[in-house]
């Protein structure tokens, strides 16, 4: 019997080792969680060119010579370079992590690629998956009672939505940093607003009791209550940037910079996840979607990003919030080193770049390597599920946790694995 057991154990162990399914013992140490309690997600919609920003290559000499459009400059990390239009970020790379091998399989559709990066999954006809902001909202909620957990500075989009989690985990959006969310502005004074709310309270409570089993009505009612609460002065005062000194507002610079400043104010006041979209106004005419003539003034975008992003990191650090705030720079895909007939670039999703900073991560690292033109991955690919898993882990969320779509369990990530060397 002992020989039979020993033989069986040996066969099982060999098979597991061969197939790569040998499991860690249940008493092994759990993965180290991150220290961040908030996330600022800087979205470069349109497809920011990685070889012209975070992964510079040979500098092109003309339209028939594939390569970076700009010269490269050294950073404060040995052997690591950035585009010449990112000089301030070059001095802060010890606080950041470059991800140079992000990849997915969506090339032609901006909307589909945006959805992939926000939800971590391909679209399906049966399931609407929640965005990364909604998942974080569902798992952690807001850090303060008088603020929403999730704010989007940009236009509303299903890609940013709560999917099967329901309306309670959606976002509040704004397109104007000065006035705050239009949907929360009160058309009457506080006294009249309070009277209206009391009248509404009785009508709403009666309606929800009569439809107690309708989850959509319950979710909508919960969101409406939260909205009324947020329309009060405590939250709305966050949008008054005049409370900041002239020097701080000037340091952040452009309209995008002012949104970054507002994002800092929001996380300081307890908002958990803030997405800041760059593309409300295009200072180069096309935004990061640099086909044809859009390439000509792309450097204006990069310079603007450099100023705003560097100021945000320095400001968070000065105020003691950088270790607690994960700053993410993301885009839907990159662009190839070749130029199109109009001097711009097409789309490329086989490899592109992103950036993580702060959040208690071990900064000063570059993850992944691409070939001499930034077209192929040579080392350490990072899938979009891996990207999501890393962000979740930085915020103390288990990337293997399961959500529920009705009664069906859905893992938070599509088999994503966090980048382990960024923790501990």
Convert the pLDDT of each residue in 75-97 to its tens digit.
Answer: 999 999 999 999 999 999 999 99
| Domain assignment present for 14 | no
| Domain assignment present for 328 | yes
pLDDT digits (tens, 9 = 90+) for 274-320: 999 997 777 878 899 998 888 999 999 999 999 999 999 999 999 99
- We report the CATH number of the domain holding residue 59 as 3.40.720.10
Q: What pLDDT does residue 103 have? A: 98
| pLDDT over 60 (residue 226) | no
Same domain, 304 and 225: no
Same domain, 199 and 268: no
Same domain, 374 and 226: no
| Domain assignment present for 178 | yes
| pLDDT over 60 (residue 35) | yes
pTM as predicted: 0.85
Which of 196, 230, 264 marks a domain boundary? 230
Same domain, 224 and 295: no
The larger pLDDT score, comparing residue 202 to residue 349, is at 349
Residue ranges making up the domain that contains 415: 33-184+237-422
| Domain assignment present for 2 | no
pLDDT digits (tens, 9 = 90+) for 370-415: 999 999 999 999 999 999 999 999 999 999 999 999 999 999 999 9
Q: What pLDDT does residue 108 have? A: 87
Same domain, 226 and 242: no
Same domain, 142 and 194: no
27: confidence class by pLDDT, cuts 50, 70, 90: very low
| Domain assignment present for 16 | no
Same domain, 105 and 248: yes
Number of domains in the chain: 2
Same domain, 103 and 138: yes
Same domain, 257 and 118: yes
Same domain, 54 and 86: yes
Same domain, 290 and 210: no
Same domain, 159 and 304: yes
Q: Give a three-class secondary structure readout of the chain.
A: CHHHHHHHHHHHHHHHHHHCCCCCCCCCCCCCCCCCCEEEEEECCCCCCHHHCCCCCCECCCCCCCCECCCEEECCCCCCEEECCCHHHHCCHHHEEEEEEEECCCCCCHHHHHHHHHHCCCCCCCCCCCCHHHHHHHHHCCCCCCCCCEEEECCCCHHHCCHHHCHHHCCEEECCCCCCCHHHCCCCCHHHHHHHHHHHHHHHHHHHHHCCCCHHHHHHHHHHHHHHHHCCHHHHHHHCHHHCCHHHHHHHCCHHHHHHHHHHHHHHCCCCEEEEECCCCCCCCCCCCCCHHHHCCHHHHHHHHHHHHHHHHHHHHHCCCHHHEEEEEECCCECCCCCCCCCCCCCECCCEEEEEEECCCCCCEEECEECCCCCCEEECCEEHHHHHHHHHHHCCCCCCCEEEECCEEEECCCCCCCCHHHCC
């Amino acid at each position: 019997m002992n020989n039979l057991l020993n033989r069986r154990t040996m066969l099982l162990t060999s098979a597991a080792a061969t197939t790569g399914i040998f499991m860690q013992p249940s008493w092994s140490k759990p993965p180290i969680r991150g220290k961040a309690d908030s996330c600022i997600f800087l979205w470069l919609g349109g497809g920011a060119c990685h070889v012209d920003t975070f992964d510079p290559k040979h500098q092109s000499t003309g339209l028939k010579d594939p390569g970076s459009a700009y010269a490269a400059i050294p950073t404060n990390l040995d052997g690591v370079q950035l585009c010449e239009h990112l000089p301030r970020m070059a001095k802060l790379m010890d606080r950041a992590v470059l991800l140079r091998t992000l990849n997915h399989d969506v090339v032609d559709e901006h909307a589909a690629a945006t959805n992939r990066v926000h939800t971590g999954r391909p679209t399906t006809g049966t399931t609407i998956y929640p965005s990364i902001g909604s998942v974080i909202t569902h798992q952690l909620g807001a850090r303060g009672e008088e603020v929403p957990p999730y704010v989007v500075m940009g236009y509303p989009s299903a890609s940013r939505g709560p999917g099967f989690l329901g309306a309670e985990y959606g976002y509040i959006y704004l397109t104007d940093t000065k006035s705050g969310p239009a949907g929360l502005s009160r058309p009457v004074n506080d006294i009249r607003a309070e009277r209206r709310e009391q009248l509404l309270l009785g009508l709403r409570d009666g309606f929800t009791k009569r439809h107690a089993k309708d989850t959509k009505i319950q979710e909508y009612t919960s969101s409406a209550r939260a909205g009324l609460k947020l329309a009060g002065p405590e939250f709305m005062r966050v949008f008054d940037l005049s409370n900041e000194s002239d020097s701080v507002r000037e340091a952040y610079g452009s309209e995008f910079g002012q949104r970054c400043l507002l994002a800092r104010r929001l996380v300081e006041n307890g908002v958990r996840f803030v997405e800041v979209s760059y593309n409300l106004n295009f200072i180069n005419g096309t935004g990061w979607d640099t086909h044809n003539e859009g390439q000509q003034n792309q450097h204006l975008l990069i310079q603007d990003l450099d100023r705003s992003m560097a100021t945000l990191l320095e400001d968070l650090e000065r105020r003691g919030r950088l270790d607690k705030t994960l700053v993410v720079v993301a885009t839907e895909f990159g662009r190839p080193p070749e130029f199109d007939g109009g001097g711009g670039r097409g789309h490329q999703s086989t490899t592109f770049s992103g950036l993580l900073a702060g959040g208690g991560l071990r900064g000063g690292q570059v993850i992944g390597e691409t070939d001499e033109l930034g077209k192929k991955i040579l080392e350490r690919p990072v899938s979009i599920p891996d990207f999501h898993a890393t962000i979740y882990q930085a915020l103390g969320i288990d990337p293997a946790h399961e959500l529920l779509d009705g009664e069906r369990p859905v893992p938070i990530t599509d088999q994503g694995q966090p980048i382990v060397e960024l923790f501990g």
